[in-house]
Every structure is written in structure tokens, then in C-alpha cells.
A = this chain, B = another copy of it.
């Protein structure tokens, strides 16, 4: 009774252009398995390239928010959008980045009660406002974040990651994308 990886056909890796296959093989080598998002989105090659370019631009940008904080944003936003793939996959990455086996579940269920700093809660409050109510964002929101010490470039990162994963959540929900079984247990024994 296990659901398929995606509603749409999955390409054969052998048929993909070199740039796409090379990245997939590199990811697979590093992670030990190939995350399903790489295969499911490859049904559309140009969209696949743009998506991962966007992802890298925000998630691997030099400086600013820590890697763990970026994943917190992904997990909080994806949980609010009820995105099965993104919460499971990025929850695993968050546990590893934060070296904390419980943080992903805490952020996904209710970040207000998670073991994170007040500054990180302010970051997630803003991310959720971008996700649910971007129409109302104004100077007051920027003021709150600056009071916590966020730079304007970091604020852009929070908004950008939220907006990007809002897109990703909608696509994964649309495709009923299934997370790899490996993600469920990664990083749970870190202590």
C-alpha cells in the first residue's frame, strides 16, 4: 500500500542530459541515496534546472543565516503547508545541520514551543507571515527583525527561502511526491 514517488512518469537517469545526471550522481554519492525530488521534478528539464539553481542561490549563499536556520525556515513553512515530502526530507537535513535529533519535529509541529532562541522564533514568525499574509508585510515587520539583530540581507534570505519553498510545497503536494524512507531516520541518533 505504499504510494508511488510521483503522479507523473519518472525519467530514466540514462536518458537525462549530462548536467542533470551528473548532479544526481554527485548527490547520490554524498547522501548514499538519490532524494526523490531530483527524479520527480526531472519530468520537466528546464524547470528542474531553474528550481535547483534557485535552491542553491538561497540555501548555499555565503554568509548570513546559518545552514540550520535556513532549514528551520524550510521545515516551518513546509509544515504549515502540510507538505509531506518537504517536512520529512528537510526535517532530516535540519537534524543533521543543527546536530539536534528533536528539533525538526518540534519546529514542524509548533515552532513557538521549540527549543530554539527568541531570535529564531522571530525569524519563523516572519517566515510564516510571508507565507500566509505577504500582503500585510510592512515597516513594523522589518523593525521587529532588525531589533533582533537581523541584517537586511538576512531578512531577504528569510523571505526568499519562504517564497521558494512555498512554490516547492505546492509542487510536491500537487505531485503527491513521496519522501525516501531514508529521510525518516536520518539524524535521529545524534546525541
Contacts and interface: CB of A to CB of B under 8 A. Distances in A.
Given A1-B117, A188-B188, A82 B54 contact: no
B174 A185 contact: no
Contacts of A7: 142
A108 B41 CA distance: 25
Within the oligomer, what is the number of copies of this chain?
6
A3 to B, nearest CB: 6
Contacts of A109: 79, 82-84, 87-88, 108
Given A101-B184, A159-B171, A135 B49 contact: no
A57 B136 CA distance: 30
Nearest to A79: B109
B56 A46 contact: yes
Given A3-B115, A160-B44, A167-B163, A83 B110 contact: yes
Interchain residue pairs A-B with the least CB separation, the first 10: A46-B57, A50-B54, A134-B173, A82-B135, A163-B170, A50-B53, A167-B167, A159-B174, A82-B110, A163-B167
30 contacts: A8-B152, A44-B57, A44-B156, A46-B56, A46-B61, A47-B58, A47-B160, A49-B57, A50-B50, A53-B53, A81-B134, A82-B109, A83-B109, A83-B135, A87-B105, A101-B184, A105-B184, A108-B109, A113-B173, A130-B170, A130-B173, A134-B169, A134-B174, A137-B173, A159-B170, A159-B171, A159-B174, A163-B167, A164-B167, A166-B170
